[in-house]
Structure 1
């Protein structure tokens, strides 16, 4: 290499470095962003299941195609030591728990059904995230939990027959869930009520495909138009 190149190469490097120093920062990340933590040993199989099915990625893709968030909400799959999936407004993080799959496998039988139930859970927690993003004024924990259930139903019904199947699977799983002896302290509706509400929305949205639910859902509330229109109205600032 000639002496000229020896002097030019560091000069170019310095110029590039100086140019980078003055560059403005890129835009802040936005939208639902999936991430995985290493699981506890007992949850390794559950973590492999979520990764193989790409449940966080698929849900995040569907949410981001529908909504334009002003900031990032992380969808974190992790071991929770029995705490249960949830949304943390301080960290803007949905936690989808590997260990939840142990309970779900007691309620449903196939891998497809387990994936359906976990997807409903993820959309439910996304509903909480959206209540936070939009600062929606729900009057109490139970009202917010019911709204998050309706958002999960909305997202699954938007996916057509496959999503409807997932919603029905989740409803049947709720129906099989034994009542919580401490239900008075649980902000969620009783499992049987959550099942009934999901089936009510499902039949209302697609009565021809779910004609067998007609008797079970006659006169039920909330109706599909009410639930759909309420969330669509609230989501208006974020809709793509």
Structure 2
């Protein structure tokens, strides 16, 4: 499942599970030889669960790989979910150079989340340009936030696939809600990461050509995803000790007063929904 819109039609995990055909060109179990060498970054858990590895970058990407390793972004997400959930099957997060689109993706056939080095460089460049035009915030910190949100989004696709979780609506919307659910439970770092992701989608929306919009894309438009994350942030704020600061999210453009009035209910619904979906798989039951 691709993380960002605009890269062509997507195939939901539920459709992939019904197919026995392995798509040509997708890396198989022979990942190390078919897709280049890799280094193991985290020992796989016994049985199921998330593990992390890094392939050697090709044609650039060394700085982005080091960025991931030094901050342990994939490892932190894997540790969080392994600690919280009982996962019967292996899910591997692979840092790698991608041949096409540089778009993070969960592949149900291999059970792998590809985290593309090129995507990291693209996001960081966008934030650096945004800062040079007067925006506040450290580009590296905001990039780390976007990568963390991306990993949770793709992990949601993996959980839906491996745990056969039921859901209604679009899987991409549900995956965004999972990212918000996990991040908003992590205090200020999680809230900052979700806001960075909202800002990143707003930048993609600003730079997009309306003529390139694909009405068949199962992803919501980037501007809608940005507004959704702002709404979840605002909707969770009544329980937050710094709630007054989050009123600034209602700017009349990316989040209107009319939508803001619904946000607490939207956040409560997504939190309740994901708690119920994951309840049979939680480690503290």
Counterpart-to-counterpart distance in 2, 1:159 and 1:136: 23
Counterpart-to-counterpart distance in 2, 1:129 and 1:194: 20
TM-score relative to the length of structure 2:
0.70
Counterpart-to-counterpart distance in 2, 1:183 and 1:106: 25
Counterpart-to-counterpart distance in 2, 1:89 and 1:151: 18
Q: Which segments of structure 1 move beyond 6 Å, counting only runs of 4 or more?
A: none
Which residue pairs with 1:98 in the alignment?
A: 117
Counterpart-to-counterpart distance in 1, 2:163 and 2:57: 32
CA contact (8 A) 2:146 2:197 kept: yes
Which residue pairs with 1:191 in the alignment?
A: 222
**C-alpha deviations, 1:207-228, integer Å up to 9, x for none?**
4151222463523457110000
SS of equivalent residue, structure 2 residue 281: coil
Counterpart-to-counterpart distance in 1, 2:281 and 2:202: 33
**2:146 is the counterpart of 1:117:** yes
**2:120 is the counterpart of 1:77:** no
**C-alpha deviations, 1:162-209, integer Å up to 9, x for none?**
100110011011111133614324221000000111111111112415
Counterpart-to-counterpart distance in 2, 1:62 and 1:28: 16
Larger CA Rg, structure 1 vs 2: 1
**How many Å apart are 1:136 and its aligned residue?**
2.7
CA contact (8 A) 1:170 1:195 kept: yes
CA contact (8 A) 2:149 2:194 kept: yes
Counterpart-to-counterpart distance in 2, 1:156 and 1:185: 29
The structure in which a higher percent of residues are helix is 1
Q: Alignment RMSD, CA only?
A: 1.9
**How many Å apart are 1:94 and its aligned residue?**
1.0
TM-score relative to the length of structure 1:
0.82
Aligned residues: 212
**2:150 is the counterpart of 1:150:** no
Which residue pairs with 1:24 in the alignment?
A: none
**2:61 is the counterpart of 1:43:** yes
**C-alpha deviations, 1:100-129, integer Å up to 9, x for none?**
013212332311111111111111000101
Where structure 1 has 5 or more consecutive residues not aligned to the other structure, the ranges are 1-26
CA contact (8 A) 1:77 1:98 kept: yes
Counterpart-to-counterpart distance in 2, 1:104 and 1:158: 24
- Larger RCO (alpha carbons 8 Å, 6+ apart): 2
SS of equivalent residue, structure 2 residue 114: strand
Counterpart-to-counterpart distance in 2, 1:229 and 1:193: 22
SS of equivalent residue, structure 1 residue 42: coil
Question: What are the within-5 Å matches in structure 2 for residues 25-36 of structure 1?
Answer: 29-36=47-54
Which residue pairs with 1:167 in the alignment?
A: 194
Q: CA 1:93–1:64 in 2, change beyond 3 Å: closer, same or farther? A: same
**2:266 is the counterpart of 1:218:** no
Where structure 2 has 5 or more consecutive residues not aligned to the other structure, the ranges are 1-44, 129-138
SS of equivalent residue, structure 1 residue 193: helix
SS of equivalent residue, structure 2 residue 200: helix
**C-alpha deviations, 1:14-54, integer Å up to 9, x for none?**
xxxxxxxxxxxxx9522111111111131121111111111
